[in-house]
C-alpha cells in the first residue's frame, strides 16, 4: 500500500490475521472492528474457561467450553454485523497455516501467551514477508513491537530469556526468599511424595540413624496408620532435616540459622487429633480440599504456623485417603486445589523455619504457578497500541514505527515508553541466516540428543531436516517411506562422529524446517569436557543465547538479573524490554521504583536485590508520550 494512503483507506483495504483470542485478543478484535477493519481472520486453539471471563469480555458464562475464536467472532458481529470475521479453532503451528496461508494477509497481529507460538509466527511472517505486530502483557506491564522483514529486527533478533532456575543448594539448604520455599515444596517435596518415584529428586531420603539402609522415609509402609505417617513426614522434613542441616556449622557462619519445627511444637496434641474432624458435613462430591475440611475460607489471609501445619497434615491425608490412585504420577498443577493447599502449607512451614515472611494461599498459588494476575486495562491499552502500529504498517509509514512499552511509573507519571525499532540483527540466525556454533562431544553425543535439546528445544524447529554435506541424516514429517523412517531411527541412536556422514570438529551441519521455511547452518566444535553444573546438557550453542546475565554475589551464588529471567508462560513482557540491549540502562532507570521492581520480580520470580541498577548519568533520550500517542508528541525526560 502506498505511503500516501489515508489511514481509513489502508484499514478498509486490508486483510489481517490475529493470532490468539485471549486477554489481548478480545480487546484487539473489538478495537479492530471499531476502527474500521473489515476482513479479520482469527486463530486460537483454545476453548473458553471460567477463569477467562473476568477480562475476556467477549465471553460469557454460557460460552464456557466453546471455541474462543468462534465466540469472539459472534460477539463482535453483533455490533459490527457487516464485516468479515473468519475464525479458526486451531493451533497456529498446524501445517495448513503455511507460508502461502500467511501471504494472503497485509499484517499479522499476535496476542499470544507463549514463546514457542510467537517464534513460529515470526518465522512464517519472515518467510511470507508479512509484517508482524507482536505484543504481550503481564499485570501492569506490556509491550507492542513491530517486525518488518529487512526494516526492523525480527522477534528473535533479541535473545529470549531462558526459564528461571535456582541453584539446588539454595533450594535444599539455604532458602532466603519465599519463592525458594515454594520451589522446594513443589519441585522437591510434592514431587517426592506424589510424583514419579523414578525421577531424580534432591530431597534427602535416608534418616540419620538408618543411613546404611535403603528405606525411603517418604514411603508409607503397608500397616502404617495414616495419622502417624503424616506426622512422621512433618517431623522429618521440618524438624529432623533442619537439625541435620544445622550440623554443618560452616553454612550458618554468616547466615541466620533455621529453627527445626516438630509437630508437637506447632500444634497442641489434641489439635493434631482433632485435625480435619470439625467439618463432618463436607460434601463427598466436592474435590477433596484441606481448607474445606478445616473450615478455612479466605484464600487471601495468611495462615498462622498452626493453621499451615493443620493444612499440611490434612492435605497429605486427603491425598492418601481420596486420591491414592494418582500417587506416583502426580505433577504439580496450579489448578489442582489440594496440590496448591499442600504446597502453600509446606512452603509456609519452611518459610517459618527460615525466618521468611509467610504468604497467603492466593499469593503462594501465584508464585507456584508463575502467575501474574492479568490486568484488563493493560490488555486494552496494548490492543489499542497494536492497532496504531498496524495502521502505520499498512500505510508504510516505517519511519514512525515504534516499539512501545507500557510501564507503571508513579514518580514520573509515565505510562508509555515508545522507542524506535532496532535494525535487523546481523547475527540473528532467524532473519540473517548467520551460522551458529555448537560445542559438543561428537564422540559421545547422540544425534537424538542434538535434535531434542538443540534443534527442537533451542531453535524451536518442529519438523527438522538435517544435512551433513550432501547427506541427509535425519528428516521428520508425514510423507516418509518406511525404509527412510528405519534409517533415520538408526541414525538417531548414533553418536555424531559415527553418522553415515560423520559430524566432527569443524563439520558444518545444515538444519532446515520446511514448514517454517527456516534454514540455518551450525558449525560443530568438538569439546571433551563440560561443566556438569553450568552446562548440564553437555552442549553449548553459541550465537543462540539463553541470555542469562549473571553476576556473582558475595556468597558465591550465581543469580540472574531481571533482564534475563522469565518463565515460558509469562507473556514475554519485561524480559523483552530489557533484552533489548541498548535499552538496558534506561530500563533500569525506569525500574528504580519499588513497584516496578516488584512487578518484575513477580513476573519472573526473580531476585530483584541482585539486579544491577546502573546510575543513569547522561541524557539517554528516553521518550515519553504526553497524552495521545497518536500525536507522537515526544517529550524528553528530565
Ligand atoms: N499455538 C497457538 N495457536 C493458537 N492459539 C494459541 C496458541 N498458543 C496460545 N494461543 C492462544 O493465545 C491466547 C493467549 O491469551 P491469554 O494470554 O489471555 O491466555 P489465556 O489462556 O486466555 O488466559 P490464562 O492463561 O491467563 O488463563 C489464548 O487464548 C491461547 O489459546
Ligand atoms: Zn532476527
What is the predicted ipTM? 0.98
Residue 583 is predicted with a pLDDT of: 38
For ligand 1, atom 3, the nearest C-alpha belongs to 91
- Quick one: cell of 231? 506426622
Cell of 31: 478495537
258: left (phi over 0), alpha (psi -120 to 50) or beta: beta
CATH code given to domain 436-542: 3.10.290.20
Atom of ligand 1 nearest to the CA of 20: 12
CA 469–ligand 2 middle distance (angstroms): 25
**Which pLDDT band holds residue 285 (cuts at 50, 70, 90)?**
low
379 Cα to the center of ligand 2, angstroms: 26
Class of domain 7-162+373-419: alpha beta
Name the residue at shortest CA distance from atom 17 of ligand 1: 113
Query: Annotated binding residue at 114?
Result: yes
Distance from C-alpha of 368 to C-alpha of 191, rounded to nearest angstrom:
13
Q: Which residue lies with its CA nearest to atom 31 of ligand 1? A: 46
CA distance 125 to 103: 8
Nearest Cα neighbor of 367 from 559, 582, 175, 628 is 175
Phi, psi of 336, rounded to the nearest 5 degrees: -95, 105
Q: How many CA atoms lie within 13 A of 559 on its CB side?
A: 22
Residue 167 is predicted with a pLDDT of: 76
Q: How far is the CA of 158 from the centre of ligand 2 (A)?
A: 7
Ligand 1: residue whose CA is nearest its atom 11 = 20
In tens, the pLDDT along 301-312 reads 999 999 999 999
pLDDT value for 170: 86
Residue 331 burial (CB count, 10 A): 13
Closest-lying ligand 1 atom to the alpha carbon of residue 569: 25
pLDDT of residue 477: 80
Query: Among 24, 45, 69, 569, which is best to mutate for testing ligand 1, by the most ligand atoms less than 8 A from CB?
Result: 45
Per-residue pLDDT tens over the stretch 215-242: 788 988 888 999 999 999 999 999 999 9
Tens of pLDDT, residue by residue over 43-55, are: 999 999 888 999 9
Instruction: Out of 19, 29, 44, 52, give the residue to mutate to test ligand 1, the one with the largest number of ligand atoms within 8 Å of its CB.
Output: 44
- Please answer whether residues 478 and 565 qualify as being in contact, where contact means their C-beta atoms are separated by less than 8 angstroms: no
Has 25 been labeled as part of a binding site?
A: yes
Q: Is 505 annotated as ligand-binding?
A: no
Q: Which three cell numbers stand for residue 356?
A: 521468611
Measured CA angle at 109 (ends 16, 138), to 5 deg: 155
The pLDDT value recorded for residue 278 is 55
CA distance 444 to 600: 40
Give, using CA atoms, the residue closest to atom 2 of ligand 1.
91
Our mutation pick for probing the ligand 1 site, out of 29, 46, 139, counting the most ligand atoms within 8 A of Cβ, is 46
Mean pLDDT along residues 82-98: 96
The atom number, within ligand 1, closest to the CA of 92 reads: 3
Q: Which residue has the cell 459472534?
A: 74
Which pLDDT score, from 0 to 100, does residue 572 have? Answer: 46
120 Cα nearest atom in ligand 1: 1
Compute the average pLDDT of residues 555-576: 33
Three-state DSSP class for residue 526: strand
Buried b (16+ CB within 10 A) or exposed e, 368-385: bbbbbebbeebbbbbbbb
Q: Is 115 annotated in some ligand binding site?
A: yes
User: Which ligand is located closest to the Cα atom of residue 543?
Assistant: 2
Sequence spans of domains, the chain: 7-162+373-419, 168-205+218-271+287-369, 436-542
Rounded to whole angstroms, the Cα distance separating 72 from 30 reads: 9
Q: Is 15 annotated as a binding residue?
A: no
The rounded Å distance from CA 449 to ligand 2 centre is 26
- The distance of Cα 301 from the centroid of its chain, to the nearest Å, equals 27
CA of 143 to the centre of ligand 1 (A): 17
Question: Does 54 count as an annotated binding residue?
Answer: yes
CA-nearest residue, atom 25 of ligand 1: 113
What whole-number distance in Å separates Cα of residue 218 and Cα of residue 233? 7
Quick check: 182 and 356 in contact, CB under 8 A? no
> Is 181 among the catalytic positions?
no
pLDDT tens for residues 311-329? 999 999 999 999 999 999 9
Residue-level pLDDT at 533: 75
- Mean pLDDT across the stretch 60-72? 97
Average model confidence (pLDDT) across the chain: 82
Of all residues in the chain, the percent with pLDDT exceeding 90 is: 64
CA–CA distance, 340 with 344 (Å, rounded to integer): 6
Confidence at 403, pLDDT banded by 50, 70, 90:
very high
Contact status, residue 263 vs residue 231, Cβ threshold 8 Å = yes
pLDDT value, residue 162: 62
pLDDT score for 372: 79
The active-site residue, picked from 125, 169, 406, 520, is 169
Higher pLDDT, 69 or 594: 69
Q: What average pLDDT does the segment 448-462 reach?
A: 92
pLDDT of residue 391: 98
Q: Which of 68-77, 150-159, 426-435 has the highest mean pLDDT?
A: 68-77
> Ligand 1 center to residue 365 CA distance, Å?
20
Question: How confident is the model over 191-210, as pLDDT tens digits?
Answer: 999 998 877 777 764 444 55
State the distance from the centre of ligand 2 to the C-alpha of 157, rounded, in angstroms: 3
208 has binding-site annotation: no
CATH code that applies to domain 168-205+218-271+287-369: 1.10.10.520
Neighbours of 535 (CB within 10 A): 13
Residues within a 6 A CB radius of ligand 1: 19-23, 25, 43-46, 51-52, 68, 91-93, 112-114, 117, 374
Counting residues of the chain whose pLDDT is more than 70, the rounded percentage is: 79
Choice from 112, 335, 371 to test ligand 1 binding pocket (greatest atom count within 8 A of CB): 112
Grid cell 551450525 in the structure block, residue: 522
Q: What is the rounded CA–CA span in Å between residue 74 and residue 273?
A: 56
Amino acid at each position: 500500500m502506498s505511503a500516501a494512503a489515508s489511514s481509513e483507506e489502508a484499514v478498509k483495504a486490508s486483510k489481517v490475521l490475529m493470532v490468539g483470542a485471549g486477554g489481548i485478543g478480545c480487546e484487539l478484535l473489538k478495537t479492530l472492528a471499531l476502527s474500521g477493519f473489515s476482513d479479520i481472520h482469527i486463530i486460537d486453539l483454545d476453548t473458553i474457561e471460567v477463569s477467562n471471563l473476568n477480562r475476556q469480555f467477549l465471553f460469557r458464562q454460557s460460552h464456557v467450553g466453546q471455541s474462543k475464536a468462534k465466540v469472539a467472532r459472534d460477539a463482535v458481529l453483533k455490533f459490527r454485523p457487516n464485516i468479515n470475521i473468519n475464525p479458526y479453532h486451531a493451533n497456529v503451528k498446524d501445517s495448513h497455516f503455511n507460508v502461502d496461508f500467511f501471504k494472503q494477509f497485509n499484517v499479522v497481529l499476535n496476542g499470544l501467551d507463549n514463546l514457542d507460538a510467537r517464534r513460529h509466527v515470526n518465522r512464517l511472517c519472515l518467510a511470507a514477508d508479512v509484517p508482524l505486530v507482536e505484543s504481550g502483557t503481564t499485570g501492569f506491564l506490556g509491550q507492542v513491537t513491530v517486525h518488518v522483514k529487512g526494516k526492523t529486527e525480527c522477534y528473535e533478533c533479541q535473545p529470549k530469556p531462558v526459564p528461571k532456575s535456582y541453584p539446588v543448594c539454595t533450594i535444599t539448604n539455604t532458602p532466603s526468599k519465599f519463592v525458594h520455599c515454594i520451589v522446594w515444596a513443589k519441585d522437591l517435596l510434592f514431587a517426592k511424595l506424589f510424583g514419579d518415584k523414578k525421577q531424580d529428586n534432591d530431597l534427602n531420603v535416608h534418616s540419620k540413624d538408618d543411613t546404611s539402609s535403603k528405606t525411603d522415609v517418604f514411603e508409607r509402609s503397608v500397616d502404617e496408620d495414616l495419622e502417624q505417617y503424616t506426622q512422621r513426614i512433618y517431623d522429618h522434613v521440618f524438624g529432623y532435616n533442619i537439625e541435620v542441616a544445622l550440623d554443618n556449622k560452616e553454612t550458618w557462619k554468616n547466615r541466620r540459622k533455621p529453627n527445626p519445627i516438630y509437630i508437637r511444637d506447632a500444634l497442641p496434641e489434641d489439635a493434631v487429633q482433632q485435625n480435619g474432624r470439625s467439618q463432618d458435613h463436607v460434601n463427598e462430591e466436592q474435590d477433596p480440599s484441606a481448607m474445606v475440611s478445616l473450615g478455612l475460607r479466605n484464600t487471601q489471609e495468611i495462615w498462622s504456623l498452626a493453621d499451615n501445619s493443620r493444612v499440611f497434615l490434612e492435605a497429605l491425608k486427603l491425598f492418601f485417603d481420596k486420591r491414592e490412585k494418582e500417587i506416583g504420577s502426580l505433577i504439580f498443577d496450579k489448578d489442582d486445589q489440594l496440590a496448591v493447599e499442600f504446597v502453600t502449607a509446606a512452603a509456609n512451614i519452611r518459610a517459618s523455619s527460615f525466618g521468611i515472611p509467610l504468604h497467603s494461599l492466593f499469593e503462594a498459588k501465584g508464585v507456584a504457578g508463575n502467575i501474574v494476575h492479568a490486568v484488563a486495562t493493560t490488555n486494552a491499552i496494548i490492543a489499542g497500541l497494536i492497532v496504531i502500529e498496524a495502521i502505520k504498517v499498512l500505510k508504510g509509514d516505517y519511519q514512525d514505527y515504534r516499539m512501545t512499552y507500557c510501564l507503571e511509573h508513579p514518580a514520573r507519571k509515565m505510562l508509555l515508553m515508545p522507542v524506535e525499532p532496532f535494525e535487523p540483527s546481523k547475527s540473528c540466525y532467524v532473519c540473517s541466516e548467520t551460522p551458529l556454533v555448537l560445542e559438543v562431544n561428537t564422540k559421545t553425543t547422540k544425534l537424538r540428543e542434538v535434535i531434542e535439546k538443540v534443534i527442537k528445544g533451542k531453535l524451536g524447529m518442529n519438523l527438522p531436516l538435517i544435512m551433513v554435506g550432501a547427506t541427509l541424516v535425519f528428516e521428520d514429517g508425514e510423507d516418509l517411506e518406511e525404509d527412510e523412517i528405519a534409517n533415520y531411527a538408526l541414525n538417531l541412536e548414533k553418536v555424531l562422529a559415527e553418522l553415515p556422514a560423520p559430524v566432527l570438529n569443524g563439520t558444518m551441519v545444515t538444519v532446515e524446517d520446511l514448514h517454517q521455511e527456516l534454514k540455518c547452518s551450525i558449525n560443530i566444535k568438538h569439546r571433551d569436557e563440560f561443566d556438569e553444573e553450568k552446562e548440564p546438557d553437555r552442549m553449548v550453542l553459541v550465537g543462540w543465547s539463553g541470555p542469562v546475565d549473571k553476576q556473582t554475589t558475595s556468597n558465591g551464588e550465581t543469580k540472574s538479573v531481571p533482564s534475563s529471567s522469565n518463565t515460558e508462560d509469562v507473556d514475554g513482557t519485561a524480559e523483552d524490554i530489557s533484552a533489548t540491549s541498548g535499552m538496558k540502562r534506561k530500563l533500569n532507570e525506569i525500574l528504580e521504583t519499588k513497584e516496578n521492581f516488584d512487578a518484575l520480580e513477580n513476573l519472573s520470580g526473580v531476585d530483584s536485590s541482585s539486579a544491577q541498577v546502573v546510575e543513569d548519568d547522561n541524557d539517554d533520550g528516553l521518550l515519553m508520550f504526553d497524552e495521545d500517542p497518536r500525536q507522537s508528541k515526544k517529550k524528553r525526560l528530565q
